[in-house]
Structure 1
């Protein structure tokens, strides 16, 4: 038999409406009233969900070897154990031990608990989610788990940062697959590597989707948003200027590169950053990566700037 959710008032709360000397005699009758009110729901879908969640709680008790009193209504069954059992059930729900084995939100966890608690209340007259009948909040042991789930839900969705581990994985992938030097994977490897060093955003160095064709550049106040060859200035060991064409022919000439950012999301347009050659870590060397980027551009498009 499927019972609908019982009233918010538990049996003990109703008993307190009567004189203390009458409560023992009235308890069976009041329990009968609560059980009589628990008729089948009119919505078959809700009825099925309610039944499934109650059976899920009983299965949890079975799996945890809590099989001595499934209904928790024995004469020696302490209410503290009911609350503790529901606290453990809350943790199980929060860690994905649900009907479909999926993580659920805090609101759904509360619905699971309400379905199970309303069933147990039919036999005990006490809501196992609350320490005392007069409490307006669930037991702290239960509330703490739900609050932790809510805390994670309230964290705003943010893009995950690109990490060094991701970059190393990409480098190993390109070695294992023998990625073409002018292909997408090698291009991403170079750009992502310098991105770890200069912290640029995609919107600060690339065309928009509306301007994806070569020569159709998106501009901001007449200045190209996309990264351009003109944004790179090369210097030798003595801080003398080195042309792009000489850099392409002999990358060892260049020891410093000053990169200009014509467009910045924070409004600091025209910002420049200086990068020094790294002999200790060639894969993390900005100079070597920029040489690879410019060489690829020269092979595919052609560089006319000197």
Structure 2
């Protein structure tokens, strides 16, 4: 189906990206039934601005309906470029983050008549939606598609809160139990860990298994993956399978005699015993 118009100016404070519409053809007009497209058209064409709505509606109505639909994409570019020249960098960032939240709501089928603030919903429900959005951001679903730090994450959340307060709605975080705060605190604690490393998720291991599926068992990539799986799923203590500090000097490994070359581990190399020292089957 038709895609909602995506402003190429608002998300990025870059002249190169801001002028990208010069090198691309306009996309077909979005469906009038698309709530996100309708919200975009109102916001970027000035129709939703109380100071300009009467005059804009007056002269727009003189154009044929099909013409207005066909010119929608061009009008969006005109409006975005004009808005860009009048917005400060912080205001542009704020608007970009609010549009990103609107896209999130649309992606999870959560929009009622283009009301992304869910004004008629209980405050607890709006807080839950905001917490889900925070999880999505923490997982890397940001404007640029990467992880962000605690301060930037706070900026994303504040932009959504401002969407509510600008409409004289109560902040979705003013509930008895704010579901967003523990998420932000967890990110802040993670950032405070010295020499931290990103975790290896099950999806990463699954991807590596697919990549190494056609390789030899004793090649470098397969061997590294074996060690990763051994450490993550083998229930070994760290000192039993890896070097716990960088103070241990690297030396020539002891070779398995009589074969004068290192070999990969195989299941028969391991034996497991119970608490009484008896071998497990």
**Greater per-residue strand proportion:** 1
> TM-score, normalised on structure 1?
0.38
* CA radius of gyration, larger in: 1
